[in-house]
Amino acid sequence: MSMELAQASLRFEKLTPAHQERCARFENQEDELVKFLREDAWHQQCLKISTTYLVFRDGEETGIPLGYVALLNDSIRIEENSTLGERMRGKGVRYHYLPALKVGRFAVDSRFQRQGIGGGMLDFAVQTAQDISNDVGCRFLVVDSKRPAEAFYARNGFKPLIHAKSETIKMYLDLAEK
C-alpha cells in the first residue's frame, strides 16, 4: 500500500472504555507501549494528563487499533538549542519557554508497520497542534524519541532539540514552518 493511500484511509477515535477489548489485542515490539495502551492510557485520560487517539482502518468498525498516539501539553526551553534560540530571539521573542504539544506515546501495531500508518498518525498530531494554535498559543510539536524511531521522526520533519547521549532524543517540529 502506498503511504498516501494509508494516510487517506485512516480514522482516528478518542480512547473510551468501550475500546478496551480491542486494545488488548494491540501488539508492539516495545512492551512498555503495549502496557501503556492496555493499562494506563484511560487512567491518564481521566486524570487529564494525556489524551489517547486510536487509529483504525476506515470502514472497519470492529478492527483492532492499527496504532495510537497519546498527546499532552508541554513547553520547550529554546536555549536548549542555540540555533532555535537565536532564530526566535531574531523574531523578537524574549521568553525562555515556548508552548508545545507533546507526542507522549506513539506506536503502530507490529503487524502493520512500514505502511505509512505512523506518518498518517503524525499528520494527525500536526493537524491537532495547528487546530489548538488557532485558539491557544502552540508553536511546536515535540517528542522524546526512542533511538530506533529517530529516523522516522527526522523523515517527517522533526529536528533534534538537544544532542545528548541518552536512551531518548528530544525532537521538535516548528508548526510555523509547516
Ligand X SMILES: CC(C)(COP(=O)(O)OP(=O)(O)OC[C@H]1O[C@@H](n2cnc3c(N)ncnc32)[C@H](O)[C@@H]1OP(=O)(O)O)[C@@H](O)C(=O)NCCC(=O)NCCS
What single letter denotes the amino acid at residue 7? Q
How far is Cα of residue 70 from the mean position of the Cα atoms in its chain?
A: 6
Q: Is 28 in the site for ligand X (CB under 6 A)?
A: yes
Measured from the CB of residue 105, what is the shortest distance to ligand X in angstroms?
A: 7
For the beta sheet containing 67-77, the strands, ordered from the edge strand earlier in sequence to the opposite edge, are 10-14, 51-57, 67-77, 97-108, 140-146, 168-174, 159-160
Centre a 10 Å sphere on the Cβ of residue 89 and count the other Cβ atoms it contains: 13
Q: Is 161 in the site for ligand X (CB under 6 A)?
A: no
Would you say how long the chain is, in residues?
Answer: 178
Measured from the CB of residue 91, what is the shortest distance to ligand X in angstroms?
A: 29
Q: Is 106 in the site for ligand X (CB under 6 A)?
A: yes
Q: Which stretch binds ligand X (CB under 6 A): 39-47, 72-80, 82-90, 140-148?
A: 140-148
- Judge contact between 121 and 94, C-beta under 8 A: no
Q: Which of 53, 56, 140, 152 is the binder for ligand X (CB under 6 A)?
A: 152
Measured from the CB of residue 123, what is the shortest distance to ligand X in angstroms?
A: 10
Q: Is 143 in the site for ligand X (CB under 6 A)?
A: yes
Beta-sheet strands, E only, within 81-129: 97-108
Q: Point out which residues bind ligand X (CB under 6 A).
A: 28-30, 33, 106-108, 113-119, 143, 145-146, 148-149, 151-152, 155
